[in-house]
Amino acid sequence: MTSSFDISAEHAAIREGVAQVCAEFDGAYWRDLDARRAYPEAFVTALSKAGYLAAMIPEEYGGSGLNLSAAAVILEEIHRNGCNAAACHAQMYTMGTVLRHGSAEQKQKYLPRIADGSLRLQAFGVTEPTSGTDTLALRTQAIRDGDFYVVNGQKIWTSRAEHSDLMVLLARTMTRDKVRRRTEGLSVFLIDLRALVSHGVTIKPIRTMMNHSTTEVFFDNARIPASSLVGEEGTGFRYILSGMNAERILIAAECIGDAKWFLSKGAAYAKDRVVFGRPIGANQGVQFPIARAYAHVEAADKMRFDAAEKFDRGEKCGAEANMAKLLASEAAWEAANACLDAHGGYGFAREYDVERKFRETRLYMTAPINNNLVLAFLGQNVLGMPKSY
């Protein structure tokens, strides 16, 4: 099921290459990891070796220098093939923070090694227990002490921290009472987790309804080199914001991939399963929810490409990126429910993979940003209605 507007030869080649990697990692592989809550090490290594995780790293640093539209096709295709990019997708957008705002030295030191897979930049520490969606209320502090910053505080939902060498960290370098605006006094750091674990950093896994390798990260007088600072001190919130549209578009693409997987799986089962002497897919109660979800997925897919193309042309795309994430996550959830319903009781059996994908795709209505906050962005920033925060 390829959309009519996604016809470029480049995208077709990407889809074919990604599908070949995914073919090595079937449902049994993912079910086993899911049962053990284990990290898909072999899958991430295979994707890195094939160069897909370095898609957006410029060629001068060893990557493929592809644009966001192409990167989104990679993630979509992973999900469309029944795999899960949540184990590694962050590298695509966190790397952008280093690329856009890092020093020449940081880029030279890290990007080639991220590109060749010898270093992983999978962790992104923004959310805290007491700030939640209100990022600007974060409390983790990084205080300058000679050639170091001393970090104290706690992050939560820092996914993949146990499987990443590096982490992009957002921390307060000036306390709230000393800044004029809430957006000031925050700084971004690129920190080496390997050097810090057991030296001021403790990582504790959080068990969730799906296999997501998410964690809590505690900082207790962790000393990080001053050279870890990305860009200028105090302007970190702007750097994080600059990566958010890319993140939303990439997540939307994963949702589209999930949705297409559910639609194919649901339609195939509805054609095969015979009850009352005819395929269940002949019944409108089974057929129409799948057909309706298909229409919504196609519409969301168009919005995703619209957002990605605007991003790649350097145009403003906040509204489109948010709408793509909203529509794609809702369409994936609709397709997930239609597929589960079509499978009847079998949808709940692990061996069909539907229940696993069902749990996995639900996340994207909540994270990386809740759809309520997407609606708030549209209501307030696009339609000019009053702010709730």
Ligand X SMILES: Cc1cc2nc3c(=O)[nH]c(=O)nc-3n(C[C@H](O)[C@H](O)[C@H](O)COP(=O)(O)OP(=O)(O)OC[C@H]3O[C@@H](n4cnc5c(N)ncnc54)[C@H](O)[C@@H]3O)c2cc1C
Q: Which stretch binds ligand X (CB under 6 A): 308-316, 327-335, 342-350, 366-374?
A: 366-374
State the Cα angle at 77 between 257 and 43, rounded to 5°.
115
Residue among 48, 69, 84, 127 that touches ligand X (CB under 6 A)? 127
The whole-angstrom separation of Cα 341 and Cα 81 is: 21
Q: With CB under 6 A as the contact rule, which of the stretches 136-144, 242-250, 269-277, 359-367 interacts with ligand X?
A: 359-367
Residue labelled with tokens 């350097």: 314
Binding to ligand X in span 288-347, by CB under 6 A: none
Identified binder of ligand X from the candidate list 259, 368, 374, 377, rule CB under 6 A: 368
The DSSP secondary structure of 323-344, one letter per residue, reads: HHHHHHHHHHHHHHHHHHHHTG
Which pairs with CB-CB distance under 8 Å and at least 24 residues apart come from 283-291?
A: 286/341, 286/342, 289/334, 289/337, 289/338, 289/341, 289/342, 290/263, 290/266, 290/335, 290/338, 290/339, 290/342
Contact status: 364 vs ligand X (CB under 6 A): no
Instruction: Name which of 85, 15, 22 is nearest 363 in CA terms.
Output: 85
Give residue number: closest CB to ligand X: 132
> For 82-213, where are the E strands, in sequence order?
121-125, 141-145, 148-156, 166-172, 186-192, 201-206
Instruction: Pick the piece of the chain touching ligand X (CB under 6 A) from 50-58, 111-119, 151-159, 191-199.
Output: 151-159
DSSP readout, 196-230? HBTTTEEEEEE--SS---EEEEEEEEEEEEGGGEE
Binding mask 191-230 vs ligand X (x if CB under 6 A, - otherwise)?
-----------------x---x-x----------------
User: Which is nearer to ligand X, 65 or 379 (by Cβ)?
Assistant: 379
**Ranges within 53-112 binding ligand X (CB under 6 A):** none
Site for ligand X (CB under 6 A): which residue of 2, 20, 221, 370?
370
CB-based contacts of 369, cutoff 8 Å, min separation 6: 133, 244, 248, 325
Look at strands 186-192 and 141-145 and give their pairing: unpaired
Site membership for ligand X, residue 376 (CB under 6 A): yes
Q: Note whether 154 binds ligand X by CB under 6 A.
A: no
Of 110-118, 153-161, 222-230, 238-246, the segment contacting ligand X by CB under 6 A is 153-161
The only residue of 132, 205, 225, 344 in contact with ligand X, by rule CB under 6 A: 132
Supply φ then ψ for residue 296, to 5 degrees: -70, -35
Neighbours of 39 (CB within 10 A): 18
Using the rule CB under 6 A, which residue among 36, 181, 207, 389 binds ligand X? 389
Based on CB atoms, which residue is closest to ligand X, 227 or 366?
A: 366
Number of residues that bind ligand X (CB under 6 A): 23
Which CB atom, from 294 or from 333, has the smaller least distance to ligand X? 333
Provide the binding-site residues for ligand X, judged by CB under 6 A.
Answer: 124-127, 132-133, 157-159, 208, 212, 214, 363, 366-370, 372-373, 376, 388-389
